[in-house]
Chain A
């Protein structure tokens, strides 16, 4: 009786465990699409996206409708996942090879996925596609989703970070609006004049994402050309010191205590921050702000540099419909209807470099200096390509946070970050 019970329990657990450790075969039968499917059978592809929610679901549906019109035998089923949880889910799907046929991915994560062989190499499909012309993409865009010379997808869209400023506040203080050649010193002068009566002159977060750009504006860099960390270089230390001094020394930027829970974007819209570095995605949100505002290139120190964030669409290695997947990737990236819709709905910008796109973007009324978005591209940098990007980011943010609250000096923090990142990157 005793043995029987134990044996039964053990048996059941073993069964469950063997199922997990892969002794079973998956039930999927069916033809494998080797990418050269020329017949017109109905094909359904699954597409996962984070950027369509919450505001652009209807735009995505419109694009999909157009795509399905152009490709009558292809059906697209989409799934919107919140960005914060997107990669949790994708990771799990990658583990059991159930990734969607096509999915959005940002530049930072692309390298990891490509490196681990879960993406479909579409180089050949792209080459043999006569309707695809690389030159419609902006310079360098095709390389974003290449890894070790193989193409895995196309850039869908980009967004970048510029400086927004509250014209009314500038007027009230009798200041000139920010000029393209402004340096950090000019910014400080203006910020000092603007900080009063509950208003802060300027704001930029002290965080990894802001960091790699700000150090570049001072001629520094987080990694060198070989990918080795150079976090505690002199230029970097100066740059971080500047980021922190704005809060703690010059008091022209609100400290985290002073913000406690409020987002800088909300504060800008409420007139509490005069100059704000934030992304092109805020253009629509600020449209109904109760004051006059405009955008300008970011003030830098030695080098003008701007953030560019790039999202692409890739295909999974286990897709059975590589051909259809490629068609969708191509459509979302370069199709004129899709790009037009994207610009009009303010869903970031396509990487297609033609007059039409520029025109429709510039034609939107607010703000006046929209061309700044395109100008910033010229000095844009993408995030550093590093394999364990999430860990590196966390380790650096840890030290930055300590420096912000004064637990360590900037130099100590960056030295510590250098040591930690060296261990990770090895």
Chain B
């Protein structure tokens, strides 16, 4: 369609690609090199071959961290995607004051974890917190969310969904608003019901956005860190529920084991890239581009 393809590529793609290479790819390759060394950040890195990776394979904490990370993803992903799509549909309605609601749901997104952690810790208080009070109202007994290692992840999932739902809703909203209303008008003429419209128009035309939401959510969920760090700080479970990035952070900035930390990062990276390639391949089956 376009003549002078080469010029376009150079003018339009090069800035972005160049920046990425300089700032990200170079740093990534360097970190790969470091993963084959022993480096305490003070002196020079000492090459030690695969020793870090071998240590990872024997590290029970690594497996625990990986398990917890996967648990988080499996619990968080479906929940947040479905709920935020639902929210986006609600926020797309032509009701009055919709902008006001859109702003409201965005508040958790823009607030830092430090600020919300204190109140969530209070809400998750086993005795007096709102969450357990509601559970008690329905006849159950709420667990000690942040003090019992088995319930920490569910608590993190719940709070993360709460915090991220507005963000993903905006993304879905952007996608929804990109769907021309002419499709819906045509469908109405054909007497198609709401659910039918949703299935045949909304979902397919939304799929590029859904794909985007899915990919970035997977990528960022594998790297979950801030909320675990902040919500378990001061609790006995602080060191008992590691995820991949808490271990990477600790090893690089606290234990001065930069080699081990970068090796962990690359293991995580390989996992994420495999998952993403899989998604990328699968997209041909369900993502619909114009």
Contacts and interface: CB of A to CB of B under 8 A. Distances in A.
A and B touch in the complex (CB under 8 A): yes
Contact of B125 (A17, A206, A261, A401): A261
Contact of B129 (A92, A260, A391): A260
Interface string A382-426: 000000101100100110111011010000000000000000000
B235 A256 contact: yes
Given A88-B253, A405-B236, A13 B21 contact: yes
B43 to A, nearest CB: 7
Interface in B1-35: 17-18, 21-22, 25-27, 29-30, 33
Given A19-B26, A20-B26, A261-B125, A394 B239 contact: yes
Contacts of B126: 257, 260
A257 B144 contact: yes
A91 interface: yes
B40 interface: yes
A87 B18 CA distance: 32
Interface in A254-296: 255-258, 260-263
B110 to A, nearest CB: 21
Interface string B121-161: 11011110100000000000000101111000000000000
Contacts of B288: none
A21 B250 contact: no
Contact of B22 (A16, A21, A206, A402): A16
B41 interface: yes
Nearest to B237: A401
A401 B256 contact: no
Given A16-B22, A95-B42, A260 B124 contact: yes
Q: List the 5 closest A-B pairs by CB distance, nearest first.
A: A16-B26, A261-B121, A116-B42, A260-B125, A401-B236
Contacts of B27: 16, 20
Nearest to A398: B239
A257 to B, nearest CB: 5
B42 A404 contact: no
A5 to B, nearest CB: 10
Nearest to A261: B121
B237 to A, nearest CB: 7
Given A12-B18, A256-B236, A17 B250 contact: no
Given A257-B126, A260-B146, A261-B118, A21 B253 contact: no
